[in-house]
């Protein structure tokens, strides 16, 4: 109740023209910053925290807090005093984003006088006229000059000043009650326009058994503010946010060989996400794209896999030859373990893979998206399709037993046109309750709905796989 009375009294004082003293006006800009940190999420927003040393005086004060992000979400702003938490009270908060633009200036000066200038080609000098702006429609002002109404003036306009309610930059305005003059103030807010993504470069060796993996963070700042000498943190994970239709564990370090140690980032578990902290301050400038090394893992072991995929629905009906000259997919598997020079949570991003040709020049051989990958899990990169390894798939027999059970016989022929043998994994997704009755090669049950065959296809040769399977659907 006491704060309500103070606020009501302050409003009366500001609007009544009373002889009582109005709150002192103070202005703070980026030069007052003593500390700034930004936490960037890979969902196009960020958290800004800054500390400023302010001389507010004692009593009620109207503080203009400038140099905040133009993409700020004002409803997320919080301010407090670090030097005297009980010595600073917020009575009112306003966000002024009526920015100074030519169109706004014209609108604010409707009904007011301005000065017009026009170059006189005969005299070689500017001529000036006093004019009154009568209206502005579609950016075109209508003037009254010497009692006449006109428009389409070919010269320039000079305004006598900037209207009080226009801001050069978005500004937070607080009505504060300060109990001491010097205050160390912390302000935090969320802003749109900050984003980061990770990209990876993987250069593999001649026999495709290992490669050098480098991870990059690409940080984009379109928030409408610069953050100099900022402490930078990145959050990896899918953070739940409420849609707004009004707007478009303990810290862990790594050994010298580990991926995280040779870069400036330190990783730690944070709630159900992962936090990456840059170990030195950095400048994050407005409309800047910055790249920082996230990890370096030299000589990481990799396994190349050729995989030939089937389809689950093929076991539900009669087919003939369902695949002819079907390409075989090429994949690279990397174990994200400390033993393999990695062992840190990998943020989602694009992995681009390169390999040197016989002349030593690196060539791009493929790219793929990876999802957020915890430590000790496998990263699989789809590289494309093998040129020289193809396969055919035929349904040789089909029988049904009642309405729920069927038996089918399948023949898969894999052909290898390379000069070296190729190891191919045949990946067979299947539904229902299934049993392999006969097989030319031993299968491996991956899970309840998948079995595989791992076969070698000789150089310039072929391998046939034949099996019979019974499936019960109900």
Model confidence over 322-367: pLDDT tens digits? 767 788 999 999 999 999 999 988 999 999 999 999 999 999 999 9
Q: Ranked by mean pLDDT, which of 138-142, 143-147, 156-160, 200-204 comes out on top? A: 200-204
Which pairs count as long-range contacts for 381-384, CB under 8 Å and 24+ apart, including other chains?
A: 381/202, 381/331, 381/332, 381/333, 381/334, 381/351, 381/353, 382/329, 382/330, 382/331, 383/330, 383/331, 383/332, 383/353, 384/329, 384/330
| The CATH number of domain 302-337+383-472 is 2.170.150 | no
Given a cut of 90, whether residue 210 has pLDDT beyond it is yes
* Least confident among 22-31, 202-211, 221-230, 442-451: 22-31
Contact 99, 62 (CB under 8 A): no
Paired tokens of 244: 């707004």
Q: Which residues, other chains included, contact 458 with Cβ-Cβ below 8 Å and sequence gap of 6+? A: 416, 421
pLDDT at 6 over 80: no
Kindly list the domain boundaries of the chain, sorted by start residue. 21-37+49-96+171-192, 102-158, 302-337+383-472
Predicted local confidence at residue 21, as pLDDT? 59
Rounded Cα gap, residues 304 and 284, in angstroms: 39
Q: Which residues contact 242 (CB under 8 A, 6 or more apart)?
A: none
Least confident range from 62-71, 78-87, 93-102, 404-413: namely: 93-102
The larger pLDDT score, comparing residue 95 to residue 214, is at 214
What integer pLDDT is reported at residue 9 of this predicted model? 44
Torsion region of 67: left, alpha or beta (phi above 0 gives left; psi -120 to 50 gives alpha): left
* pLDDT of 94 over the 90 cut: no
Distance, in Å, from the CA atom of 103 to the CA atom of 140, rounded to the nearest integer, reads 9
**Mean pLDDT value across the chain:** 87
* pLDDT tens-place string over residues 24-52: 889 999 999 999 999 999 889 999 999 99
10 — pLDDT class (breaks 50, 70, 90) = very low
Residue 215: pLDDT over 90: yes
Least trusted range by pLDDT, from 119-128, 243-252, 299-308: 243-252
* 94 vs 168 pLDDT, higher one: 94
402: left (phi over 0), alpha (psi -120 to 50) or beta: left
Beta-bridge mates of residue 292: 217
pLDDT at 317: 84
**What is the pLDDT, as a whole number, of residue 166?**
78
pLDDT > 70 in the chain, percent: 90
pLDDT surpassing 50 at residue 254: no
In terms of C-beta density within 10 A (0-12 exposed, 13-18 middle, 19 or more buried), how is residue 328 classed? buried
Residue 2 has pLDDT above 80, yes or no: no
* Confidence label for 248 from pLDDT (cuts 50, 70 and 90): very low
pLDDT band at 241 (very low <50, low <70, confident <90, very high): low
Which has the closest alpha carbon to 27: 171, 168, 180, 166?
Answer: 171
Counting residues of the chain whose pLDDT is more than 90, the rounded percentage is 64
Does residue 19 surpass a pLDDT of 60?
no
- Integer Cα distance of 448 and 431 in angstroms: 8
Cα separation, 253 vs 265, whole angstroms? 9
Average pLDDT over residues 93-98: 81
pLDDT digits (tens, 9 = 90+) for 151-204: 988 889 999 988 877 777 788 999 999 998 999 999 999 999 999 999 999 999
pLDDT at 193: 96
- Residue 95 is predicted with a pLDDT of 85
Q: In 3D, which of 395, 389, 401 has the Cα closest to residue 466?
A: 395
pLDDT band for 263, please (50, 70, 90 cuts).
low
pLDDT value at 259 more than 60: no
- Looking at per-residue pLDDT, the higher value among 96 and 223 belongs to 223
The pLDDT score that the predictor gives to residue 257 is 34
């Amino acid at each position: 109740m006491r704060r309500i009375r103070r606020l009501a009294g302050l409003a009366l004082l500001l609007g009544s023209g009373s002889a009582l003293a109005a709150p002192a006006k103070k202005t703070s800009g980026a030069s007052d910053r003593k500390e700034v940190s930004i936490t960037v999420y890979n969902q196009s927003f960020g958290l800004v925290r800054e500390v400023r040393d302010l001389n507010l005086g004692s009593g009620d004060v109207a503080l203009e807090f400038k140099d905040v992000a133009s993409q700020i979400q004002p409803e997320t702003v919080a301010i407090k005093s670090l030097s005297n938490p009980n010595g600073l009270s917020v009575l009112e908060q306003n966000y002024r984003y009526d920015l100074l633009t030519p169109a706004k200036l014209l609108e604010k000066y409707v009904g007011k006088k301005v000065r017009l200038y026009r170059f006189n080609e005969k005299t070689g000098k500017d001529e000036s006229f006093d004019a009154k702006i009568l209206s502005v429609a579609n950016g075109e002002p209508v003037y009254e000059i010497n009692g006449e109404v006109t428009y389409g003036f070919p010269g320039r306009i000079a305004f006598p000043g900037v209207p009080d309610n226009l801001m050069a930059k978005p500004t937070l305005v607080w009505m504060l009650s300060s109990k001491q003059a010097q205050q160390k103030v912390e302000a935090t807010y969320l802003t749109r326009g900050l984003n980061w993504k990770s990209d990876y470069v993987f250069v593999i060796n001649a026999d495709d058994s290992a490669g050098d993996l480098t991870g990059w963070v690409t940080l984009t700042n379109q928030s409408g503010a610069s953050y100099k000498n900022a402490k930078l943190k990145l959050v990896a994970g899918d953070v739940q946010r409420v849609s707004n239709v009004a707007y478009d564990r303990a810290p862990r370090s790594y050994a010298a060989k580990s991926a995280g140690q040779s870069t400036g980032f330190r990783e730690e578990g944070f709630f159900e996400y992962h936090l990456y902290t840059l170990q030195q301050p950095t400048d994050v400038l407005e409309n800047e794209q910055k790249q920082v090394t996230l990890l370096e893992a030299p000589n990481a072991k990799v396994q190349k896999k050729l995989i030939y995929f089937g389809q689950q629905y093929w076991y539900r009906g009669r087919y003939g030859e369902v695949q002819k000259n079907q390409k075989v997919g090429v994949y690279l598997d990397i174990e994200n373990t400390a033993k393999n020079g990695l062992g840190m949570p990998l943020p989602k991003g694009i992995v681009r893979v390169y390999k040197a040709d016989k002349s030593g020049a690196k060539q791009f051989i493929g790219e793929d998206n990876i999802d957020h990958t915890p430590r000790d899990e496998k990263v699989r990169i789809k590289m494309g399709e093998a040129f020289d390894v193809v396969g055919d798939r035929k349904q040789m027999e089909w029988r049904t037993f009642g309405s729920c059970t069927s038996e089918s016989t399948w023949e898969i022929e894999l052909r290898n046109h390379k000069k070296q043998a190729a190891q191919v994994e045949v990946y067979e997704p299947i539904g229902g309750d299934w049993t392999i009755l006969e097989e030319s090669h031993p299968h491996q049950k991956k899970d309840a709905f998948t079995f595989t065959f791992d076969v070698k296809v000789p150089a310039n040769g072929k391998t046939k796989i034949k099996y019979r399977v019974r499936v019960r659907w109900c």
